[in-house]
Amino acid sequence: MSALLLQTKGFGVERGGRVLFHELALDVVRGSITVVIGPNGAGKSSLLLALAGVIAHSGDCLLQGRNHRAVDRNEMSRQIAWQGELPPTEFGLTVAERLDLAAGAFGASNRAHAVEAMELEALLHRTLGELSSGERQRVEIAAVMVRDCPLWFFDEPTAHLDLKHQQRVLKLLRDAAAEGRTIVTVLHDLQQASAVADQVVLLDGHGGAEAGEAAGLLTSERLSNLFQVKLQSIHNDGHSLLLPDYRS
Amino acid sequence: MSRGVAALTVASVLLAVCLALGAGEVWINPLHPLSDMERTILWELRLPRLLIAFAVGGLLAMAGSWFQVLLGNPLAEPYVLGVAGSSAVGAILTLMLISTSIVLMSAGAFAGAVAGIALMMAFVHLGSGRLLLAGVVLAAFWSALITLLLALMPNRDIGLAFAWMMGDLSTSAIPIPLLLLFWFAALIAGLVLSPKLDALLLGEKHAMLLGVNVSALRGTILLLASLVTAVAVTAAGTIGFVGLVIPHLMRLVFGSLHRYVLPASAVGGGLLLMLADSAARTVIAPAELPVGVLTAMIGVPLFLWLLLRRN
Amino acid sequence: MRLVLLFLMMWLLAPQAQAGERILALSPHACEILADIGAADEIVGVVDYCDFPESLSKLPNLGGYNRIQVEAAMKLKPTLAIVMNDGAPAVNKLRALGVRVEASNPVTIDAMLAEVERFGALSGHQHEAAQQVHLLRARLARLKPGHSQKSVKVFYEIWDDPLIAAGGSSLIHDVLTHLGLNNVFGAIAMEGPKVNIEAVVRAKPDLIIVAAGNEKVREQFWKKWLGERVRVIGVNADLLHRPTPRLIDGMEALAARLSAGGGLHE
């Protein structure tokens, strides 16, 4: 079992004729958490989808040592579980049914744990349409966990969630990584990013992409530039917190 | 499926069959000894009608459930993309230019349906929103064309055109064994595709990440659903509401997963149409109402009740 | 002086009888009746299916009875229009443009005869009309069955697929009743109700009347359902569906066929 789950070279994504980013060299190690950061429209969601083989990309990517493009859809799905947009609610799917669908043909070996971790027991027989967006988000997180995939992709896992559940999700990510799960996630909140990231990918929104160790890239100068916002560095208990000054 | 539901299903089927066989101007009790005339009526008139109604109702309901998932819209139904419209155009053109024979009109209907389907296939790669738009616009076009043809045709043929469009289950241009076989084949094909269709309920991205080839699936489902609709319309004319209401009703009872909804629709649609046809034959006996009127009379209140209940 | 007074009286008493009427005969039956009472020369415009007598089809065709081309009609400088649908927009236009409009839609034999008389008055051919009606009534009287006749049950098949019968409010029903036949679907108050085979089997008709040309096929079909006993004959639909004097021709032909086969009056 190689330690390098994902390896990209010259990786880039285009949308509508515009290059979102290019020349990304990214190595994702087993059991690590990679956080993708950048302003709106920089291509963060597209990066995840391209790595998952859903949209086209330039450059190369190796998944578990194999050329990405040569991996068939089923196999890809066995390797990667994705949380992204909330599924439509028109058809009256219940939470239980939605989780069954997440298992698909691969079996739901982790279902009980997923339900428990996201506190969904009481909601299992409600339809998705009846739930609040926070509850639907929890269902989506659980859906990723249901299968026993080596790679978990999250696109803003803490969106819609209250503070308690945000913290829970972040703890979940850390615990899962410690158990050997490999995680790539988009996060907006800089504190959350620095709390979980081993590695960070910065997409600057002008085509630039850089990957590296979290400590090196999550600095106030880099991020102030990236987001065009003045960030203050506050020291707390041995950690640095990077906060935008909302009052200025 | 719980035992209670299974029992209810079996009971409903038996009731509908008994009604279909028993009801009519002559109320026949199938369990008592029958006179020759009663026997003839039962076997040669009511039984074929029952079988046609069952097959066509099931086909329409199956097609309805597929169109609903294909277009991601629970308001979709088999005629939304214009298959009924183009087949009606085919039937009416045949009526005007070739012959008033029902068999030939049905052949024309099938040809029209195929033309309509071929047109839609050109738009399937655009995604469900655009596909729906293209279909609705095309359906409107067929409608306008039908109005034009009705305006141009000799007055005495107008009644025939309407009679065809309103639906007739007394005979089918497609032989009954073939129709039943097709029902069965459609059900099997649908069951095979069910897991992938279920994935599609989550949206295209989720489906792709569950290993589904979404564009191939959409093309396949469009073709299958359209073909099923074409067969139903060729056999019995354009009967409405079955394809819209039955899948929803089945989802309420059995949940949204296709592996249950599909067979439930195949049977439930058949039952609804059998009941509607029994009513059509009986309400103003000895005259008959068009069966499409009855499916609306039964289907619309049922649908509205469902909507209110869901809230 | 008395002659002048007489003339004046005739002129005053028959205000509708203008010589030189220019008539739009906007339905097939209006054409036929007018021609029958000698008013063919007064007709200036016709519509589709005004094919009897044939000479009328050479006249300007103004469309279908429900789609009249008003401009073309007005070019013919009509004074009177005989129409089927009085409320139709085209008809209202004609009326607004000063054309006298008379609606005509007879659904019984008596109504048809009344129309013959009325058209006579409208076109100034009262005398011929009265004569014609007198003759037609005589012929009708000869067709009426005697009192002691047993009624024959008849199913009149207007169309084969879908199966359409002549209902109680149709002209055919009146014809059948006049001939002493019992229309098995006469109780249905529709003109052309859709029925099913079962209903016909249940009604057990002795006689089935179909469109001529289809006889052989329909005979085979109905004998299968009703046995050899049932009699199937074909008639010329044009003669029996139009409320015109030719209706009587059709009735006489039908009566002849029935008594020839020994089936009309048992």
Structure tokens at C242: 């139009």
Q: Would you say how long chain C is, in residues? A: 266
A86 touches A136 (CB < 8 A): yes
The answer to whether the beta carbons of residues B146 and B91 sit under 8 Å apart is no
Q: Which of C113, C140, C167 is the last residue of a domain?
A: C140
Q: What is the distance between the alpha carbons of residues B76 and A90, in angstroms, rounded to a whole number?
A: 12
% residues pLDDT > 90 (chain B): 43
Domain tally, chain C: 2
Residue B310's pLDDT is what? Answer: 64
In angstroms, the separation between the Cα of residue B287 and the nearest Cα of chain C is 5
Residues C162 and C71 in one domain: no
As a whole number of angstroms, the distance between CA C39 and CA C18 comes to 12
Q: Measured between CB atoms, which of A74, A80, A101 is closest to B198? A: A101
Rounded CA gap, B295 and B245, in Å? Answer: 10
Q: Which residues of B touch C (CB under 8 A)?
A: 24-26, 37, 40-41, 45-46, 101-102, 151, 154-155, 159-160, 163, 168, 170-171, 281, 284-288, 290
* Side-chain half-sphere exposure of A109, counting CA atoms within 13 A: 5
For residue B71, give the nearest of B161, B197, B234 by alpha carbon.
Answer: B197
pLDDT of res. A110: 84
Cα–Cα separations (whole angstroms), residue A139 to A83, A161, B291: 10, 11, 45
Question: Euclidean distance between the first and final Cα of chain C, in Å?
Answer: 64
Preceding omega of B78 cis (within 30 degrees of 0): no
**Which residue range is the domain that position C134 belongs to?**
19-140
Across the strands, what pairs with A35? A185, A200
Per-residue pLDDT at B72: 87
Taking residues A141-155, what's their average pLDDT? 92
Check residue B2 and give its pLDDT. Answer: 62
Q: Do the Cβ atoms of B160 and C159 come within 8 Å?
A: yes
Nearest CA in chain C to B46: C198
Do C78 and C170 fall within a single domain? no
pLDDT in tens, B272-287: 899 898 888 888 878 8
Judged against a pLDDT cut of 70, whether residue B191 lies above it is answered with yes
Short-list B145, B185, B155, CA closest to B58: B185
Mean pLDDT score across all residues of chain C = 86
Mean pLDDT of A215-229: 86
What pLDDT, on a 0 to 100 scale, did the predictor assign at position C264?
Answer: 43
Q: Which of A233-242, C43-52, C83-92 has the lowest mean pLDDT?
A: A233-242
Q: What is the CATH number of the domain that holds C80?
A: 3.40.50.1980
Q: What are the start-end ranges of the H helices in C76-192?
A: 89-96, 109-123, 126-143, 171-178
Domain co-membership, C180 together with C246: yes
| Tens-digit pLDDT profile for residues B240-266 | 889 998 998 888 878 889 989 999 999
Is residue C107 domain-shared with residue C194, that is, in the same domain? no
Average of pLDDT values for A98-115?
A: 84
Q: Which of B67, B132, B208 to mutate to test the interface with A (most CBs of A within 10 A)?
A: B208
Find, in chain B, the residue whose alpha carbon is nearest to that of C184. Answer: B286
Bond from prior residue into C15 cis (ω within 30 degrees of 0): no
Q: Please give the angle made by the CA atoms of A119, A121 and A127, to the nearest 5 degrees.
A: 105
**Whole-number Cα distances in Å, A166 to A114, A135, C59, C97, C135:** 15, 12, 89, 81, 102
CB-CB neighbours of B37 under 10 Å: 16
- CATH pick for B3-310 out of 1.10.3470.10, 3.40.50.620, 3.90.1150.10, 2.60.40.10: 1.10.3470.10
Q: Both C163 and C132 in a single domain?
A: no
Chain A CB contacts of B256 under 8 Å are 91-94, 97
Q: In the CATH scheme, what is the code of domain A4-217?
A: 3.40.50.300
Q: Token match 């209110």: residue?
A: B308
Helix (H, G, I), strand (E, B) or coil at C81: strand
Give yes or no for residue C26 having a pLDDT over 60. yes
Domain presence at residue C173: yes
Which of A136-140, B191-195, B299-303 has the least mean pLDDT? B299-303
Task: Give the three-class secondary structure for B170.
Answer: coil
Please report, for residues A4, A77, A85, A154, A181, the alpha-carbon distance to residue A149 in angstroms, rounded to integers and kept in the order given.
15, 8, 19, 13, 8
Q: What is the pLDDT of residues A4-63, one digit of tens each?
A: 889 999 999 998 889 999 999 999 999 999 999 999 889 999 999 999 988 999 999 999
Residues C127 and C31 in one domain: yes
d(CA B153, CA B161): 10
pTM of the model: 0.83
Q: What is the distance in angstroms between the Cα of B251 and the nearest Cα belonging to chain C?
A: 36
Using the predicted structure, report yes or no on whether residue C262 has a pLDDT greater than 70.
no
Q: Kindly report the backbone phi and psi dihedral angles of residue A247, in degrees, each rounded to the nearest multiple of 5, phi listed first.
A: -90, -10
Say if residue C136 is in the same domain as residue C27: yes
Q: What is the pLDDT of residue B155?
A: 75
Residue B179 clears pLDDT 90, i.e. is over it: yes
pLDDT at C210: 93
Confidence of residue A162 (pLDDT cuts 50, 70, 90): very high
Q: Of all residues in chain B, what percent carry a pLDDT higher than 70?
A: 92
User: Which of B206, B217, B249 should we substitute to test contact with A (largest number of A Cβ atoms within 10 Å)?
Assistant: B206
Predicted pLDDT at C265: 41
Query: C63 φ, ψ to 5°?
Result: 110, -155
pLDDT for the residue numbered A247: 78
pLDDT at B35 over 60: yes
Q: Can you give the residue ranges of every domain in chain B?
A: 3-310
Q: State chain A's mean pLDDT as an integer.
A: 89
Read off the pLDDT of each residue in B118-127 and give the average, rounded to a whole number.
Answer: 86
**Distance separating alpha carbons of residues B83 and B226, to the nearest angstrom:** 7
Q: What's the token pair of residue B253?
A: 């009872």
Q: Residues A175-189: what's their mean pLDDT? A: 94
